C-alpha cells in the first residue's frame, strides 16, 4: 500500500486523509520526517498565508501567518523534491511549491470575491486547462472547481509550468517540467466521495493521477 505524507496539522487535514484512504493509500499526517524513503509521496495541504519574508516580500495583505509551520512545510517539500518523489500541493500547498522554486505570491487578489470561501462555503468558478495538460485529459478544456483563497501565484518559479487559469486569469494549476510535481489552487479533497459536488468536477480523478505517479 502506498504511504503518503501529509505535511499539515491533524485537525485541519481530515478531508485529505479521507480522500486518500478512499483511493486505497495510507495517509500519514506529520511535520516530522526524518527519511523521505519512508514515504511514497507528499501532499502539501491548504492553510493560512505564507510569511512574505519567505519569498522576499513585505507584508501586503497576508493573513493567518504561522511562520513555524511555513518553514516546516517548505523544508519537507524540499526533501521530497530533492528525492524526486511526487508532490501534490493544494491551495496553500500550491503556493508553497511556487515559493520553493523561487516564485512569488500575490498577497491579496483584487476583486477576489469569486475565489473566497463565504460563510464556510467554497465558491465555485470555471477554469481553462492548457492544451495537452493532465487537467485537459481528466476534465476537458473548461471545467468548474471549488475555490477558497484570497492569494494567488505571482512570478512563476523556475521549472514550473502553468497548466490552468481561472476565468479572471488567476493561476489555478502548475506542474514541474521534469519532476512529478502538481500544484492546484483548488481543493480536490472537498470535491470527491462524501464531499462530492454536483457543481464541480470530481476531485478524485486528479488525486488518483497523483497516486499513480507515486506507484512509479
List the pLDDT tens digit at each of the 216 positions of the chain. Answer: 999 999 999 999 999 999 999 999 999 999 999 999 999 999 999 999 999 999 999 999 999 999 999 999 999 999 999 999 999 999 999 999 999 999 999 999 987 777 988 778 899 999 999 999 999 999 999 999 999 999 999 999 999 999 999 999 999 999 999 999 999 999 999 999 999 999 999 999 999 999 999 998
Q: What is the pTM of this model?
A: 0.97
- What is the domain-level CATH number for residue 111? 3.40.50.880
State the virtual CA torsion across 93, 85, 100, 54 in degrees, nearest 10: 60
User: Range of 11's domain?
Assistant: 3-215
Indicate the number of domains in the chain. 1
CB 158 within 8 A of CB 140: no
Q: Are strands 123-129 and 160-166 parallel, antiparallel or unpaired?
A: antiparallel
Give the C-alpha separation, 19 to 14, whole Å: 9
Amino acid at each position: 500500500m502506498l504511504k503518503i505524507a501529509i505535511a499539515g496539522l491533524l485537525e485541519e487535514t481530515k478531508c485529505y486523509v479521507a480522500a486518500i484512504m478512499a483511493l486505497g493509500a495510507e495517509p500519514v499526517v506529520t511535520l516530522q520526517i526524518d527519511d523521505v524513503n519512508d514515504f511514497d509521496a507528499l501532499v502539501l495541504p491548504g492553510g493560512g498565508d505564507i510569511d512574505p519574508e519567505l519569498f522576499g516580500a513585505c507584508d501586503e495583505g497576508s493573513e493567518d501567518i504561522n511562520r513555524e509551520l511555513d518553514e516546516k512545510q517548505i523544508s519537507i517539500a524540499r526533501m521530497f523534491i530533492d528525492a524526486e518523489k511526487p508532490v501534490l500541493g493544494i491551495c496553500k500547498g500550491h503556493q508553497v511549491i511556487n515559493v520553493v522554486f523561487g516564485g512569488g505570491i500575490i498577497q491579496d487578489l483584487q476583486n477576489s470575491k469569486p475565489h473566497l470561501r463565504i460563510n464556510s462555503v467554497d465558491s465555485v468558478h470555471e477554469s481553462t486547462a492548457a492544451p495537452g495538460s493532465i487537467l485537459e485529459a481528466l476534465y476537458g478544456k473548461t471545467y468548474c472547481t471549488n475555490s477558497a483563497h484570497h492569494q494567488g501565484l505571482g512570478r512563476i518559479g523556475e521549472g514550473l509550468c502553468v497548466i490552468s487559469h481561472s476565468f479572471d486569469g488567476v493561476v489555478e494549476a502548475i506542474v514541474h517540467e521534469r519532476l512529478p510535481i502538481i500544484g492546484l489552487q483548488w481543493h480536490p479533497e472537498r470535491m470527491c466521495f462524501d464531499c462530492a459536488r454536483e457543481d464541480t468536477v470530481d476531485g478524485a480523478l486528479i488525486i488518483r493521477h497523483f497516486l499513480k505517479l507515486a506507484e512509479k
